[in-house]
Structure 1
Amino acid sequence: MKPALEIDTPMTRAEVRASLSLAGIYMLRMLGMFLILPVFSVFARDLPGATPTLVGLAISAYGLTQALFQIPFGLWSDRYGRKPVITIGLVLFVLGSALAALSDDIYGIIAGRALQGAGAVAAVVMALAADLTREEHRTKAMALIGISIGFSFALSMVAGPMLSAWMGLKGLFWVVTALAALGIVVLYTAVPDPVVSRFHRDAEVRTAAFGTVLGNPELLRLDLGIFCLHLILTATFVVLPLVLRDTLDLPTAQHWHLYLPVFVLAMASMVPFVIVAEKKRKMKPVFLGAIAVVALADLGFLGFGASFWAVFGLLYLYFTGFNLLEATLPSMVSKIAPPDLKGTAMGVYSTAQFLGAFAGGAGGGWIYGHHGIPAVFLYCAVAALIWLAVALGMRPPRHVSSLLVNVGALSREQAATLSGRLLQVPGVAEAVVLAEDGVAYLKVDKDTLDRAALSEELFQTQAA
């Protein structure tokens, strides 16, 4: 009897446990990054030495160190082990959070935030998830981690104002310290130890492939996109809390009254557009429309940001576009990147994301200090419009998904032959079989994929 494709079988309990626990670690860490975002610019004005530029730098300093260290951390984990490197990263995050909590001036908080970012374990968490899941189920594990990031951001927008009103900025940093320490506990009590730890092309960076990835103009457009998206996000939150408190007279403790309904409505509103983009194969127009909505929202703040309902509506537009772009950008990287270079493409993409966050905070703070709040929103709108102009020339991404299949030990000749045969299967758009990995890296159209024919080809290979 021919075996079914592994993708058609459910994840094992061990795979579910590994995926959920790693998503939990990721969420705890991202909560530590995001909790101060909706409140810091309000509280930081009273810190000794604080200037708008330094406040923006304190918000975004983690982005620079995260960008510098995330790829090296991934490489170190291949050599020294996943859990030891994750532990070092989380310890650095704990130390950075504690330093910020103990600091009485803006400079100490900047140093603490930079140290937080230096514990750049995101890539290592992904690599450990790859160690603990079969190739055919890896995208499910990565999806759970992706969901945890979105949930942590939404939770931070609500919890940050509430917690800071109760315990102040120092207390908030102590909460962040405790969350990072809890991540270490989860790592050693809930995350299984991998039986084998090896390099995974779909989840890790291959430095020798940087030239190929950086030479792909479609991937570079997406890298610019995530850079601009997080520049806009961070710059917006340099000044938005000030608008809510000083212009709308909304106490900081009540900012969540605005954020919560905005997030709920924005999340609900993005769903139909995701369906149109994926099911109706209208990814490019939906993508361009979302960029335009973000630009429109930032332009709107220039003239209509003086009343509660105007800000509510503009934030609703902004977060609808933001959530849609945050969800579709990594999906588009996966569709465009060569099937065996997805990990490298995502590594470059993530570096661009963190550099964008740094540029947003540092640039937004400087612009606010020299030209005022409206100029920051103009900065964001210009970034969005530049992105839109670049994105107009993109090719519509193919309607394909990544699929990894373990094919076992093969010679180079057998791997090359199997690659050719798999390309003949209806629904398979790209196929790369690497003998040294024992894995077939595929791009498939799930709507037209002939699973029976794919299973037949794999069964014949295993039987031979």
Structure 2
Amino acid sequence: MPDTASRTALARNERRVTGILAAIFGLRMFGLFMILPVFTVLGAELDGATPLLMGVAIGAYGLLQALFQVPFGMLSDRYGRRVLMVVGLLVFAAGGVIAASADSIYGVIAGRAVQGAGAVAAVIMALLADVVSEQQRTRAMAIVGMTVGSAFIVALIIGPALAAWLGLSGLFWLATGLALVGLLMTLLWLPEPQLRSREAQLPWRTRVAGVVRDPLLARMNLGIFILHAVLMATFVTVPGLLQQQLPLAQHSVLYLVVFIASLLVMVPLMIRGERRGLRGAKLVAIVLLLAAQLLLALGHKQLWLLTVALWLFFAGFNLLEALLPSLVGRVAPVGTRGTAMGLYSTLQFLGVFAGAALGGWLLQYQGAGAVFWAAAMLLVPWLLAALTMPPLRRLESRSLPLPPAAALAGWSERVLAVPGVLEAVVFAESGVAMIKIDPAEIDEAALDAAAAQLN
């Protein structure tokens, strides 16, 4: 059985890696978000700028992200998470330099596209799923999700002030600098754990086919596509509605208050989900989103109803942002986790593109109410899919002290030979390992014997 020192070392390592990954993700996303509230104003001054091309500049990032998530995730399965994070952050920084140096809208489009090609979101989430125990994974994903949400809110608040000081080019230079800070954090502080599982490394075609055909992963991918399509459709529409009832300078304050209030709903639901299973928390979150869209459709002309709807929306959205990647990490085997996260992130960014396009078209031709009714209709099949989702196999993570260096070479093979042990993650720097087990199948005596032999 794991000793207290091993559990403490594992918990310390989990907190450290979660904090580093959340900081890297947050810095990168803040660099992107601070462009959004000002680009349509400042971008109009670029040579050749038109509303269509400015839209292409904003969307180019999402499209390239969608294209490169699976390749980055697959490569991280084979060559390691940290090296792919380094490559992705360097590519993102290069795109920032291109955009910052551009005098025309076409140069900015090129820079945004190169930024999008640095698609490390799937790699970050796969690494988090690798190193955090089953019991703590939802909480760790929530920390990352809340960090990204906070970056979004802070960017909405200070982005215009930074733009007035630095200009559009300066914002791109700042985004580049933040990416380089994330790169240094990756190189200096982020570990590269050694992952072992019962399954040998599979050919890439087999991995992709397995991920695509998996019915549970398909439900997660459907969910993240709908979630981000609804997000973008909502925020194509809501700012204009708020503008009719509230001065622009007060929008950021409203968003901040609503975001903080949403945590009062999200955090208890997340804790309850960790204790009693994630399926119920997921269903509640989808219902919150559906209620928010119905309230927006029926009451978007009244400020107080808009505020209540946004509160419900952020509560459901933030909870699902934490739950869905945690579920993907639980369902996907370690040998295909990066691939699974890559496909998941691809559907996420395709949802961003589809939701923005559909929301804009409906808003222009049918009005704001049609956007929210369409978003509600999108949520219904997801709710039905979640209601019929079978229960997940309950797994646990345990910590074990590592054997002396001389015996380490065969450690994972012997432990993985124990019935019920599914995978092992070795943290050589911390002198501890994390194993994932199936409590229904684990042979406790064999596991104790295997651990005793190696000490």
Instruction: Tell me which of 246, 250, 256 is aligned to 1:260.
Output: 256
Instruction: Tell me which of 442, 446, 450 is aligned to 2:436.
Output: 442
> RMSD in angstroms over aligned alpha carbons?
4.4
- For 1:248, the equivalent position in structure 2 comes to 245
- For 1:211, the equivalent position in structure 2 comes to 209
Cα deviation digits, residues 390-443 of structure 1 (max 9, x gap): 22221133443455867844499956742x2xx3xxxxxxx33589x9988524
Contact residue 41 and residue 238 of structure 1 kept, 8 A? no
Contact residue 232 and residue 356 of structure 2 kept, 8 A? yes
Instruction: Tell me which of 342, 354, 365 is aligned to 2:360.
Output: 365
- For 2:395, the equivalent position in structure 1 comes to 400
Equivalent runs, 1:260-339 vs 2, <5 Å: 260-281=256-277, 283-338=278-333
Q: Is 1:432 matched with 2:422?
A: yes
Name which of structure 1's ranges 6-15 and 85-94 shifts more when overlaid on structure 2. 6-15
Cα deviation digits, residues 356-410 of structure 1 (max 9, x gap): 2222223323333443333332332222122122222211334434558678444
Q: What code does the residue aligned with 1:305 have?
A: H
Contact residue 2 and residue 398 of structure 2 kept, 8 A? no
- TM superposition shift of 1:260: 0.9
- TM superposition shift of 1:319: 0.6
- For 1:33, the equivalent position in structure 2 comes to 32
- TM superposition shift of 1:350: 2.0
SS at match of 1:394: coil
Could you list the runs of 5+ residues in structure 1 that have no partner in the other structure? 424-430
- For 1:462, the equivalent position in structure 2 comes to 454
Cα deviation digits, residues 304-343 of structure 1 (max 9, x gap): 1122211110100101111111111122223333465434
Aligned equivalents of 2:17, 2:284: Cα separation in 1? 37
Q: What code does the residue aligned with 2:300 have?
A: G
Name which of structure 1's ranges 261-270 and 175-184 shifts more when overlaid on structure 2. 175-184
Cα deviation digits, residues 209-255 of structure 1 (max 9, x gap): 2222222111101110011111111222222222222x22421x321
Q: What code does the residue aligned with 1:432 have?
A: L
Aligned equivalents of 2:102, 2:379: Cα separation in 1? 35
- For 1:191, the equivalent position in structure 2 comes to 187
Aligned equivalents of 1:42, 1:20: Cα separation in 2? 35
Contact residue 61 and residue 110 of structure 1 kept, 8 A? yes
**Bigger RCO of structures 1 and 2 (CA < 8 A, at least 6 apart):** 2
CA gap of 1:45–1:295, structure 2 versus 1, over 3 A, is farther
Equivalent runs, 1:341-360 vs 2, <5 Å: 341-360=336-355
- For 1:96, the equivalent position in structure 2 comes to 95
SS at match of 2:343: helix
- For 2:65, the equivalent position in structure 1 comes to 66
SS at match of 1:10: helix
Identity %: 38
- For 2:225, the equivalent position in structure 1 comes to 227
Cα deviation digits, residues 105-160 of structure 1 (max 9, x gap): 76655444322211113345567779xx9x67799799657624422322322432
- TM superposition shift of 1:38: 5.3
SS at match of 2:454: helix
- TM superposition shift of 1:69: 1.4
Number of residue pairs matched by the alignment:
441
Cα deviation digits, residues 11-48 of structure 1 (max 9, x gap): 59888666544432222111123334456567778987
CA gap of 1:125–1:393, structure 2 versus 1, over 3 A, is closer
Contact residue 69 and residue 343 of structure 2 kept, 8 A? no
CA gap of 1:158–1:310, structure 2 versus 1, over 3 A, is farther
Aligned equivalents of 1:62, 1:278: Cα separation in 2? 34
Contact residue 299 and residue 377 of structure 1 kept, 8 A? yes
SS at match of 1:328: helix
Q: Is 1:23 matched with 2:22?
A: yes
